[in-house]
C-alpha cells in the first residue's frame, strides 16, 4: 500500500475552470482546447470551436470594442505588459477579456466583472494609507484589501523557517473570532501550491460549492493552467476551505527575492467573486506593501550596522594601542553582550576565563566544548537548541542558545555567547497533525483536509531566540579585528616601521590619485568651454546643460580635493555612508570617457543598477577608474562594447564592468592592483598605472571585494562585490 503525499498532486493540470468565465487555448494550428460553457455563448458546438484561429473566434466573442490583434500580439510579447486585458460586453453583461502567452501557447480568458467598478483615483489614497500607518504596512494592507473585495476576513500569513505559517496581521468583520498570532502547519499549503504562488501571485475561488467546467479538446494532463485565473481548485483544497467555514477564498502572494515570504489570505462565509480588476489592484497594493516593508527593514539594518560599526572601529583603535588583547576584549565585553542581545558572554583562553551576565555551569561548559570539537573544525559554531545531557528541563536554568567564535585556535582563545531558554506558547489553528484516509480502489492512503481549526495550544520549550545573520556577521568581524591585532604583536617595532612606510607611500600616492581622477571632471569643463567659444548661438537648453555639467564637475573636484587633504592630515577620514543608486553617475562617467578616449562608436549597455551602501565621492572614483579603463582599452576595437550591470546575491550586490578590449594575462592578476603596474599589452594607451591601485584602495575602504576575469584580445570583466 502506497501513501500519497499532498505535494504529488499536480494541481495545475486539473483540466477544469470555475463557473464564472470561459477559456480558449491556442497554438499555431488554432484552438486546441476550450471550456464547455463557451459553446453556449457562441451558439457553436465545441467541435466547431476547436481548430479555429484566435482571429476567427475573437469577433464572435465580442465585437465591441473592436480589438486590434497586432496590438495584442505586441503587448503579450513585450517586456512591460505580458498580459492583454480589456473590458468587453457579451449579451449586455460586462466581462474582462484577458490574453497571455504561457508554455508556447496563447491563452484567452473571459471572466465576469464585479458590479462595483473600481476607481483609479483612489489609488493615491490607498498608497498614502499604507505609508501613514506608523510602519505597520501589513495591517494596513489587510484593511485596504478587505475594503476592496468585501470579504469577512483578510489576513497576512508569514512563513517561518520550518515552512509553517503564522498570522501577523488581520482585518475581520464584526463578531468574528480573531486568528491573530495563530500558527498553521506546513502541510496546509503543500510544496506544489507554494511553487504556483510564486509563479502566479493572485488566486481565488468564488464559490467552493459551485460546479466546475471541464475543458474539451485535450486531456487534463495536457492543459497547464499554472497562470490561469479561472483554474478550478483541487477537491482537497475545496474541502479544506469548507472545513474552515469559508465559501469563497482569495490569496495574494508576498514574494521577496524570489522566495514565497507569505500570503495575503482572504476568506468569506458566502459566495463572492473577486474580479480581475479587484485582483490586479490587490496584487499591486501587496507589492507596494512589500516595497515599504523592505524599505523599513533596510533602515533598521542601517541603524544596527551603524551601531555595530562604531564599536568595531573603537575596538580596532583600542587593539592597535593596547598590547594586552585580553584586557581590551574584557573592556568591550559588555558592549558586545548588549549589541548581540545575549544573556551571557564568556572569554576563554589557555590562562583561564572570565564571564559576564548569566552563563552555563562548568559541567555544561565541558559538554558544549566536547560537542563542538566532535563537529570538526568550527571557527564559528552556533545553535538555538543545544541539548544538555542529564538536564532537568523543569528545574534547570538552561542555555540552548550557544555561539562560539575562535579568536586564536592555537592558544584556545574563544568568545562564547549564551541565550537562555525562550518558553512561549504557540497557538495553532487546529492540532497540527496530518490525517490519511484509505482508498480501497487505488489501494493508497491519501491526506485528508483537517476538520478542526479550533485553537490548539502548545508550550514550546528547549529553544532560545535564534541568532540573526547580522549578529553572526558582527561577531565574525570582532574575531577578525582581534586576529589582525594579535598577528601584529609578533613584531611591534617592525610593524610600526611598516606603518610608517605605508603612510609615506600613501602620501606619495595621493598626488597621483588627485591628478589621475581629476582628469575626468576637468575634461568635462574643458569640452564645455571649447564648445561655448566655438559657437556663439548655442540654444539656452544646451547652455544650461553645459553650465550644469561644469557645476557638477567643480563640486566633484572640490569633494575629491577635500578628501585628499584630510587623508594627508590623518590615516582616517569619517566618510558618510548612505544607500546610493549609481545609475546617473555611471551614465555621466560614460559620456565623459567616450569624449576623452574618442570612442564615439562605442556600444554601451547598462543593465539593472541595484542601490549600494557607500560614500558618494569614493563610489564616483571607483566607477570612474573601472569604466574609464573599459572604454579606453576597448576604444581601438572595430566595434567597441562596454556593459555595466548589477546582480543581488543574498545580502550582497555585485557590479560587473565588462568590455571587449585588449584583455589581461590572467596569470598577472595577483599584482594588477599594484601602484604603477602597467601590463605588457597596454603599450599605445595613455596612463600611469595607478587606476587599479586606486580601485583597490577604495574597495578596501568600502569593505568591498574586487575580482577580475579576463582573456587576452577578448575582453575583461571586473566584479565589485558590495556588502549589504
Query: What digits encode the pLDDT tens for the residues 606-660?
Result: 999 999 998 887 888 899 889 988 999 999 898 999 999 999 998 899 999 999 9
710/662 Cα distance (integer angstroms)? 9
Please tell me the pTM assigned to this model. 0.58
449 vs 189, higher pLDDT: 189
641-649/603-606 β-pairing: parallel
CA–CA separation, 679 and 665 (whole Å) = 8
Structural domains for the chain:
4-13+117-213+220-297 (3.30.450.40), 16-112 (3.30.450.20), 322-417+466-487 (3.30.450.270), 575-724 (3.30.565.10)
How far CA 590 is from CA of 177, 338, 463, 520, 706, in Å, comes to: 60, 46, 54, 10, 20
> CB 693: neighbour CB atoms within 10 A?
21
C-alpha closest to that of 158 among 72, 64, 254: 254
d(CA 629, CA 695) in angstroms, rounded, equals 11
* Statement: residue 509 has pLDDT above 60: no
Nearest to 228 by CA among 14, 28, 27, 37: 14
pLDDT tens for each residue of 269-294 = 999 999 999 999 999 999 989 988 88
Is the per-residue pLDDT at 677 higher than 70? no
Q: How many residues does the chain have?
A: 724
d(CA 433, CA 188): 10
What's residue 377's pLDDT?
66
| Whole-number percent of the chain with pLDDT over 90 | 31
DSSP state of 283: H
The answer to whether the CB of 19 falls within 8 A of the CB of 111 is no
Asked whether residue 451 carries a pLDDT value surpassing 70, the answer given is no
Q: d(Cα 121, Cα 36) in Å, to the nearest integer? A: 38
| β-bridge mates for residue 171, sequence order | 154
Non-local (6+) Cβ contacts of 538 within 8 A are 531, 532, 546
List pLDDT tens digits, range 395-429: 556 899 999 998 876 667 889 999 998 876 777 67
Higher pLDDT, 24 or 121: 24
Rounded Cα–Cα distance for residues 616 and 622 (Å) = 10
231-250 residues labelled b (16+ CB within 10 A) or e (exposed): bbbbeebbbbbeebebbbbb
pLDDT (average), residues 83-89? 89
- Position with higher pLDDT, 198 vs 523: 198
Cis check for the bond before 493: say yes or no (omega within 30 of 0). no
Which regions of 188-293 does DSSP assign to beta strands (E)? Answer: 202-205, 213-216, 248-256, 259-268
Amino acid at each position: 500500500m502506497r501513501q500519497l503525499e499532498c505535494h504529488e498532486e499536480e494541481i495545475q493540470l486539473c483540466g477544469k475552470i470555475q463557473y464564472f468565465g470561459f477559456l480558449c487555448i491556442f497554438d499555431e494550428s488554432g484552438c486546441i482546447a476550450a471550456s464547455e460553457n463557451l459553446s453556449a455563448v457562441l451558439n457553436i458546438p465545441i467541435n466547431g470551436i476547436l481548430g479555429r484561429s484566435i482571429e476567427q473566434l475573437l469577433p464572435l466573442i465580442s465585437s465591441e470594442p473592436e480589438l486590434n490583434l497586432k496590438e495584442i500580439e505586441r503587448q503579450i510579447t513585450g517586456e512591460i505588459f505580458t498580459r492583454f486585458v480589456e473590458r468587453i460586453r457579451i449579451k449586455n453583461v460586462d466581462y474582462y477579456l484577458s490574453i497571455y502567452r504561457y508554455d508556447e501557447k496563447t491563452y484567452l480568458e473571459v471572466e465576469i466583472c464585479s458590479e462595483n467598478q473600481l476607481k483609479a483615483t483612489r489609488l493615491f489614497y490607498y498608497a498614502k494609507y499604507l505609508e501613514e500607518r506608523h510602519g505597520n504596512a501589513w495591517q494596513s494592507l489587510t484593511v485596504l484589501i478587505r475594503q476592496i473585495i468585501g470579504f469577512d476576513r483578510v489576513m497576512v500569513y508569514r512563513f517561518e523557517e520550518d515552512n509553517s505559517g503564522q498570522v501577523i496581521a488581520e482585518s475581520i468583520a464584526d463578531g468574528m473570532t480573531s486568528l491573530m498570532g495563530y500558527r498553521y502547519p506546513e502541510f496546509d499549503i503543500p510544496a506544489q501550491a507554494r511553487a504556483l504562488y510564486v509563479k502566479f501571485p493572485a488566486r481565488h475561488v468564488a464559490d467552493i460549492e459551485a460546479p466546475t467546467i471541464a475543458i474539451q479538446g485535450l486531456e487534463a494532463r495536457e492543459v497547464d493552467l499554472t497562470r490561469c485565473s479561472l483554474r478550478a481548485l483541487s477537491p482537497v483544497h475545496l474541502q479544506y476551505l469548507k472545513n474552515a467555514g469559508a465559501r469563497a477564498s482569495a490569496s495574494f502572494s508576498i514574494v521577496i527575492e524570489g522566495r514565497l515570504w507569505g500570503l495575503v489570505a482572504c476568506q468569506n462565509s458566502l459566495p463572492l467573486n473577486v474580479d480581475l480588476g479587484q485582483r490586479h489592484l490587490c496584487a499591486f497594493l501587496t507589492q507596494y506593501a512589500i516595497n515599504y516593508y523592505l524599505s523599513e527593514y533596510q533602515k533598521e539594518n542601517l541603524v544596527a550596522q551603524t551601531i555595530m560599526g562604531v564599536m568595531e572601529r573603537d575596538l580596532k583603535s583600542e587593539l592597535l594601542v593596547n598590547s594586552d588583547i585580553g584586557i581590551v576584549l574584557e573592556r568591550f565585553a559588555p558592549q558586545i553582550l548588549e549589541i548581540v542581545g545575549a544573556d551571557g558572554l564568556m572569554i576563554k583562553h589557555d590562562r583561564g576565563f572570565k564571564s559576564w551576565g548569566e552563563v552555563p555551569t562548568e559541567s555544561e561548559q565541558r559538554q558544549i566544548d566536547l560537542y563542538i570539537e566532535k563537529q570538526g573544525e568550527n571557527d564559528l559554531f552556533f545553535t538555538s537548541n543545544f541539548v544538555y545531557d542529564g538536564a532537568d528541563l523543569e528545574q534547570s536554568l538552561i542555555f540552548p542558545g550557544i555561539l562560539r567564535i575562535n579568536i586564536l585556535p592555537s592558544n584556545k582563545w574563544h568568545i562564547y555567547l549564551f541565550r537562555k531558554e525562550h518558553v512561549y506558547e504557540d497557538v495553532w489553528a487546529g492540532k497540527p497533525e496530518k490525517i490519511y484516509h484509505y482508498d480501497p480502489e487505488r489501494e493508497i492512503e491519501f491526506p485528508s483536509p483537517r476538520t478542526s481549526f479550533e485553537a490548539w495550544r502548545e508550550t514550546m520549550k528547549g529553544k532560545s531566540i535564534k541568532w540573526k545573520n547580522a549578529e553572526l556577521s558582527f561577531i565574525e568581524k570582532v574575531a577578525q579585528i582581534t586576529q589582525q591585532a594579535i598577528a601584529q604583536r609578533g613584531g611591534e617595532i617592525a610593524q610600526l616601521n611598516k606603518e610608517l612606510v605605508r603612510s609615506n607611500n600613501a602620501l606619495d600616492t595621493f598626488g597621483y590619485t588627485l591628478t589621475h581622477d581629476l582628469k575626468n571632471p576637468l575634461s568635462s569643463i574643458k569640452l564645455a568651454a571649447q564648445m561655448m567659444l566655438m559657437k556663439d548661438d548655442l540654444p539656452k537648453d544646451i547652455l544650461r546643460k553645459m553650465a550644469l555639467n561644469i557645476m557638477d564637475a567643480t563640486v566633484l573636484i572640490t569633494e575629491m580635493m577635500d578628501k585628499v587633504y584630510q587623508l594627508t592630515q590623518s590615516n582616517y577620514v569619517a566618510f558618510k555612508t548612505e544607500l546610493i543608486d549609481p545609475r546617473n553617475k555611471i551614465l555621466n562617467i560614460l559620456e565623459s570617457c567616450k569624449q576623452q578616449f574618442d570612442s564615439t562608436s562605442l556600444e554601451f549597455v547598462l543593465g539593472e543598477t541595484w542601490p549600494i551602501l557607500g560614500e558618494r565621492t569614493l563610489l564616483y572614483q571607483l566607477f570612474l577608474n573601472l569604466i574609464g579603463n573599459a572604454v579606453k582599452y576597448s576604444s581601438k576595437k572595430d566595434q567597441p562594447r562596454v556593459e555595466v550591470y548589477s546582480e543581488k546575491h543574498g545580502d550582497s550586490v555585485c557590479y560587473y564592468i565588462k568590455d571587449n578590449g585588449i584583455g589581461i594575462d590572467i596569470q598577472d592578476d595577483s599584482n594588477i592592483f599594484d601602484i604603477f603596474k602597467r601590463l605588457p599589452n597596454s603599450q599605445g594607451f595613455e596612463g600611469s598605472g595607478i587606476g587599479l591601485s586606486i580601485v583597490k584602495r577604495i574597495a578596501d575602504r568600502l569593505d568591498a571585494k574586487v575580482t577580475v576575469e579576463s582573456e587576452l584580445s577578448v575582453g575583461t570583466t571586473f566584479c565589485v562585490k558590495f556588502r549589504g
